[in-house]
Amino acid sequence: MCGIFGAENSSKFETLYDINKVRGTFAFGSVTVTPSEHYLIHKQEGIVNFNEFSMDYDTRYITGHTQAPTSCERKYADHTSHPFEAGEWMVAHNGIISNFSDLKKEHAPWHSNKVDSSIIPTLLNEFYSNSPDMEPLQITSVISKVLSMLKGTFAVWILNRETSNIYIARSGSTLFFDKDRVAFSSIECMDWEPVQEGIIYQYTIEGFTQVGTFDCDHPFFIL
């Protein structure tokens, strides 16, 4: 089990990290987007000491991931820890992708990472790279295509380096955002609302805003 979360400032981010530690303290990963659109990636084993992990720099947004050991990888390594990267894409994921082997075999037979989450940025990069004339607003169609291909359960945050856009979505796994829709978390906080399944949200100056949809394919019946 894992947890994903994000916030606009370091103090809120630390609070959400503490809340999501119940989802696992085997590993931690984060991406800080600065106002100048630089990306600071941090990965480490174990519990984060924020006194040592300085976050004093200006931030536009910070995304994070807490991780329990996976069934296929029981020892820490950067390449098997979130976020996973491919081309212009960075992704962190909570859940299980039940058709991981099929997706790899059909679309990315060269893919060698054993962690199921790693296939998401690989697929995003594969379809995005083969559509070089796509406008930034059409990036959501690539995200929709890939998320619709996933079977199982997931909650994800997705960052596109080229546009500096941040997206969140879920299917089956839990994900919530605050009343202003500027922070999100796998663990529900007081008065937070569920992120709607099958909806792609993009972070904007107005908070997370719906920009697309995708087909859900998970084993749970949702009323």
Stretch 41-64: mean pLDDT: 83
**Cα separations (Å) of 168 from 5, 45, 97, 104, 196?**
10, 24, 17, 23, 10
The rounded distance, in Å, linking the Cα atoms of 205 and 180 is 11
Is residue 2 predicted with pLDDT exceeding 70? yes
Select the highest-mean-pLDDT range: 25-29, 196-200, 216-220: 196-200
**Cα separations (Å) of 42 from 3, 19, 109, 200?**
16, 19, 28, 25
The rounded distance, in Å, linking the Cα atoms of 50 and 32 is 14
Could you tell me if 186 and 156 are in contact, meaning their C-beta atoms sit under 8 angstroms apart?
A: no
Residue range 128-170, pLDDT digits in tens: 877 666 665 589 999 999 999 999 999 999 999 988 999 999 9
Whose CA is closest to 72, among 101, 47, 106?
101
Q: pLDDT value at position 223?
A: 33
Name which of 33-37, 70-74, 194-198 the model is least confident about: 70-74
| pTM reported for the whole predicted model | 0.92
Stretch 101-112: mean pLDDT: 95
Q: pLDDT value at position 222?
A: 41
Taking the domains of the chain in order of start, what are their residue ranges? 2-213
The rounded distance, in Å, linking the Cα atoms of 75 and 88 is 27
The rounded distance, in Å, linking the Cα atoms of 205 and 184 is 15
Q: pLDDT value at position 221?
A: 41
Could you tell me if 127 and 22 are in contact, meaning their C-beta atoms sit under 8 angstroms apart?
A: no
Could you tell me if 108 and 69 are in contact, meaning their C-beta atoms sit under 8 angstroms apart?
A: no
Q: pLDDT value at position 194?
A: 97
Stretch 197-210: mean pLDDT: 96
Q: pLDDT value at position 58?
A: 76
Is residue 38 predicted with pLDDT exceeding 60? yes
Residue range 67-106, pLDDT digits in tens: 877 655 568 888 889 999 999 999 999 999 999 999 999 9
User: How many percent of the chain have pLDDT more than 70?
Assistant: 89
Residue 146: φ, ψ to 5°: -70, -45
How are the residues of the chain apportioned to helix, strand and coil, as percentages rounded to the nearest 5? 25, 35, 45
The rounded distance, in Å, linking the Cα atoms of 19 and 30 is 15
Q: What is the side-by-side strand order in the sheet with 193-194? A: 39-45, 27-33, 61-67, 2-7, 184-185, 176-177, 193-194
Look up the CATH architecture of domain 2-213. Answer: 4-Layer Sandwich (3.60)
